[in-house]
Amino acid sequence: MEKNSTPTEPPPAEPRVGRPTPLPTWSFIGIIVVVQVVDRLIGRRATFDRFTQAPSLRDTLIGLQVAGDVVFLAVAVVAVVVAAVGSRPRWINAVLVAYLAMATINLSLSVTALVVTADRLRVVHLTLLWDVGLVYVSTVLVFALWYRLLDCELRGGAFEFPTDPARPDRQPGWIDYVFLSFNTNATFGPTAEVVHARTAKVVMMVQTVISLLVLVVLVARIVGLGG
C-alpha cells in the first residue's frame, strides 16, 4: 500500500538580513552639528550680496540662511529632549525631514553661489578648492542623513546592502550610509546597494544633480580661471 503523502509546510521565511537598527538619536544630532559647522565654513554664499542688485532677492537669500539656523536650533533642542527622555514619538520624523529639507536648500544655495561667482572672483585657487571641498563634505553628510532616516522609517526599508559573509547578521551603520552617499557623489549612483523606495531614488537624483554641478561645472570653471 502506498503511504498517504501529507503536504509539507514551507519553512518559515528568514528575516531580512541587513535591516537597519532604530535611528540613533545622539549620533544623528552629532552629524547635524557637523553639517551646521561645515555650512558656516562655506562663506561663498555671502558673495551673492556683491552681485545681487535686487534687494528683495538678497533679503530672500539671507532669510533662508536665518531660517536654516532656526530650524537647526529647533531640531537640536527637540532631539536632545527626546533622547534624554528615552521615548521617540512619530512626529519627530517630521521635524527631522524639515531640517534635512532646509539643509538641502542651503546646500543648493551654496553650490549655486559657487557656480555663479567662480568666474567673477579674483581669489587664490586654493580658496576656491577649499570651498569645493567643504561643499563636497556637506553634500555627503546631508544625504547620508537622508538615507539613514529613509532606510529606518520607510516600510520595508529603502536600501538593501550586500551581506558580509564573515558577519551575515551585521546591521547597517553610519559608515554604510556615508559610503553610499560618497559613492553617489563620486560615481553618480550606488555601487553595490539596491535601492527599493521611490522616495530614496528621488533623493538620490537630487544628490546626483548637486554633485554634477560641483564636480563638472564648478571644477571646470576653476580650471578655466587657472588658464
Q: Give percent of the chain with pLDDT exceeding 90.
A: 15
Number of domains in the chain: 1
pTM of the predicted model over 0.85: no
Q: Please check whether residue 8 lies inside any domain of the structure.
A: no
What integer pLDDT is reported at residue 15 of this predicted model? 41
Q: Please check whether residue 81 lies inside any domain of the structure.
A: yes
Q: Please check whether residue 38 lies inside any domain of the structure.
A: yes
- Quote the domain boundaries for residue 85: 25-158+171-226
Residue 123: pLDDT over 70: no
- Output 152 or 127, whichever has higher pLDDT: 152
What integer pLDDT is reported at residue 4 of this predicted model? 52
Q: Please check whether residue 164 lies inside any domain of the structure.
A: no
A 10 A CB-CB count for 53 gives 6
Q: Please check whether residue 102 lies inside any domain of the structure.
A: yes
Which residues, in sequence order, are CB contacts of 78 under 8 Å at separation 6+? Answer: 92, 95
d(CA 210, CA 141): 13
For residue 30 the three cell numbers come to: 552629532
Mean pLDDT of 190-219: 85
- Output 77 or 85, whichever has higher pLDDT: 77
The whole-chain average pLDDT of the chain stands at 74
d(CA 53, CA 58): 8
Q: Please check whether residue 1 lies inside any domain of the structure.
A: no
Residue 164: pLDDT over 70: yes
d(CA 1, CA 23): 60
Residue 44 DSSP code: G
Q: Please check whether residue 10 lies inside any domain of the structure.
A: no
Q: Please check whether residue 205 lies inside any domain of the structure.
A: yes
Which residues, in sequence order, are CB contacts of 120 under 8 Å at separation 6+? Answer: 47, 51
Residue 53: pLDDT over 80: no
Alpha-carbon dihedral 126, 131, 134, 140, rounded to 10 degrees: -110
What integer pLDDT is reported at residue 206 of this predicted model? 93
Lowest mean pLDDT among 53-62, 149-158, 173-182, 212-221: 53-62
